[in-house]
Amino acid sequence: MTRRGFLGVTAAAAGAAATGWIGGAHLLGPGLPGLLLPSRLPLPRPYQVPLPIPPVLDPVRHEAGTDFYEITQRVAELDIIPGVRTPAWTYGGSFPGPTIVARSGRRAVVRHRNELPEPTVVHLHGGHTPADSDGYPMDLLLPTGDAGGASHAGHGAGGLARGSREYTYPHEQRAATLWYHDHRHGVTGYAVWQGLAGFHLVHDEEEDALGLPADDHDIPLMIVDRSFGADGSFLYPRADARPHSHGVAAPYMNGVLGDVILVNGAPWPVMPVEATRYRFRLLNASNARRYRLELDPQPPGGGGLVQIGSDGGLLPGPIAHDALDVSPAERFDVVVDFSRYRPGTRIRLVNRLGSGSTADVMCFDVTGPAGESRPLPERLAQGPALDPGRAVATRTFHFQLRPDHGWSINGRPYEPGQVLARPRLGTTEVWRLISDFHHPVHIHLDPFQVLSRDNRAPGRFDAGWKDTIDLHPSQAAEIAVRFTDHPGTYMIHCHNLEHEDMAMMADFITE
């Protein structure tokens, strides 16, 4: 991936703009981002398969204070749609990849080996991670046996590796639902669509003391949309059919939408539940699709989705929602109390922003006997708020479609090494994020707190520590952010993966 490669991406975006893909005003309307790519096989009926739970990864060894893991990235044939097999790019042979379960303050070293046909980059989303392990989009892990490529040495602190490399995660952060996924420059949308995503959970003592649902009542739910070819393969409209090509075909530059909803890799699955409380770690790992998740039927009195955590960990106290808007990369940690339903009830988790096949997500079947649940603690986590009155800088970032450059931040398409901000470690800043359209904006290294949207109070889904904010069309949001340690190069970008690949990304340097 040479400098010419980046320019190629930029030129592709500009060319697409010139050829009119931005001409359709509907693309920038208030509705869903993206364009549906229909599957070329009959869709399976919903609620036919059990919910899979991703395997938990065992460390290969321990040392004082450190757990060592190994993951081989490889092509695996998965059973997703009955009657066909799906070749996927996987972490360790499964989609989602294996879940890493970590403790706050205890280091993990994950050795990734790349046996895929193309380079990869691993990013731990939500991780408070040193720059050389953060997955800078140029810090490629070349496949085993890749003979070329030595001249592509990246701009990032992690550099270039061939075959395998270690990522180090100190976990000096609160209990939270993190996830890991591919972050390669210009190819993230394709690589994640092919299956490169998994959970990475952090626990701590504050969480332990709360008595929240645990073990087989603490369930991660990775929600994605996908489309399938007639042979069962994942369909994705790469910019051109050759391997290694960057970006997405022009009509899909506003996002690729699938017509099959997968939860933990299974289409519209069923989960039998006892009539008691469960904790669900909801993750929207879709490339571009936004969801409005709701239980149908609602429990008596409503408020069936009780949020206890956000991207950055537990909230100060629970918040009951009838529905949750979840943009790509956001996590909502919720508790659902199935003792509020009669045994025998089937409860669907539906998507009010979907239609047809994408209006359903999964369902829960409540098994007997009738249960009774203790209330949740009124106070969850302490966590001081950032004080915007002490901010030392205010910065503005415009997330816009530009006729000359396509998706851009402050008028610039992504150029590795071009630095948009240099925040000082240990100081609080206010960042104004301004959007023309739906942009789920993600900031690496440290979480932030939402201060306002359009000069009004934060939205209903902005509580707690966030690392991704669901910016709405023509909106200005203010956030308070404080980078605590780890000097180096990090990213701010749109997490609509097609926008990201088509250059809506920027470097910032902490110093």
Question: One symbol per residue from 34 to 53: x for binding Cu ion (CB under 5 A), - otherwise; what is it?
Answer: --------------------
We find the least distance from the C-beta atom of residue 502 to Cu ion, in angstroms, to be 9
Q: How far apart are CA 511 and CA 501, in angstroms?
A: 27
We find the least distance from the C-beta atom of residue 425 to Cu ion, in angstroms, to be 28
We find the least distance from the C-beta atom of residue 412 to Cu ion, in angstroms, to be 15
**Phi and psi based region of residue 245 (left: phi greater than 0; alpha: psi -120 to 50; beta: remaining):** beta
Do residues 176 and 312 lie in contact, with contact meaning Cβ atoms separated by under 8 Å? Answer: yes
Distance of alpha carbon 209 from its chain centroid, rounded?
A: 28
Q: With respect to Cu ion, which residue has the nearer C-beta, 186 or 313?
A: 186
Scanning residues 481 to 500, which ones bind Cu ion (CB under 5 A)? 494, 496, 499
Q: With respect to Cu ion, which residue has the nearer C-beta, 277 or 439?
A: 439
Q: With respect to Cu ion, which residue has the nearer C-beta, 194 or 468?
A: 468
**Phi and psi based region of residue 128 (left: phi greater than 0; alpha: psi -120 to 50; beta: remaining):** beta
We find the least distance from the C-beta atom of residue 342 to Cu ion, in angstroms, to be 43
Q: With respect to Cu ion, which residue has the nearer C-beta, 94 or 496?
A: 496
Count how many Cα atoms sit within 13 Å of the Cα of residue 294 in the half-sphere of its side chain.
12
Q: With respect to Cu ion, which residue has the nearer C-beta, 310 or 496?
A: 496
Count how many Cα atoms sit within 13 Å of the Cα of residue 424 in the half-sphere of its side chain.
7
| Interface with Cu ion, residue 308, by CB under 5 A | no
Question: One symbol per residue from 321 to 340: x for binding Cu ion (CB under 5 A), - otherwise; what is it?
Answer: --------------------
- Strands 266-267 and 260-263, how do they pair? antiparallel
> Kind and range of the H or E element at 86?
strand 86-91
Q: With respect to Cu ion, which residue has the nearer C-beta, 480 or 494?
A: 494
Question: One symbol per residue from 60 to 99: x for binding Cu ion (CB under 5 A), - otherwise; what is it?
Answer: ----------------------------------------
DSSP 8-state code for residue 472: P
We find the least distance from the C-beta atom of residue 25 to Cu ion, in angstroms, to be 17
CA dihedral 2, 191, 184, 16 (to 10 degrees): 60
Q: With respect to Cu ion, which residue has the nearer C-beta, 41 or 434?
A: 434
We find the least distance from the C-beta atom of residue 95 to Cu ion, in angstroms, to be 24
CA dihedral 243, 133, 399, 424 (to 10 degrees): -160
We find the least distance from the C-beta atom of residue 341 to Cu ion, in angstroms, to be 38
Q: With respect to Cu ion, which residue has the nearer C-beta, 109 or 285?
A: 285
Pick from 508, 510, 509, 507: nearest CA to 6: 507
We find the least distance from the C-beta atom of residue 504 to Cu ion, in angstroms, to be 5
Maximum CA extent, the chain = 65
Count interface residues toward Cu ion (CB under 5 A).
4
Do residues 103 and 170 lie in contact, with contact meaning Cβ atoms separated by under 8 Å? Answer: no
Q: With respect to Cu ion, which residue has the nearer C-beta, 348 or 439?
A: 439
We find the least distance from the C-beta atom of residue 471 to Cu ion, in angstroms, to be 8
We find the least distance from the C-beta atom of residue 291 to Cu ion, in angstroms, to be 16
Beta bridge partners of 466: 448
Q: With respect to Cu ion, which residue has the nearer C-beta, 87 or 459?
A: 459
DSSP 8-state code for residue 375: P
Between the CA of residue 30 and those of 26, 27, 162, 437, what are the distances in Å?
8, 9, 44, 8
Question: One symbol per residue from 415 to 454: x for binding Cu ion (CB under 5 A), - otherwise; what is it?
Answer: ------------------------x---------------
Pick from 267, 304, 261: nearest CA to 284: 261
Pick from 358, 371, 283: nearest CA to 328: 283
Classified as helix, coil or strand, 71 is strand
Q: How far apart are CA 233 and CA 241, in angstroms?
A: 14
In this chain, which residue has its C-beta nearest to Cu ion?
494
Q: With respect to Cu ion, which residue has the nearer C-beta, 99 or 496?
A: 496
We find the least distance from the C-beta atom of residue 409 to Cu ion, in angstroms, to be 10
Kindly list the residues in this chain that would bind Cu ion in the complex (CB under 5 A): 439, 494, 496, 499
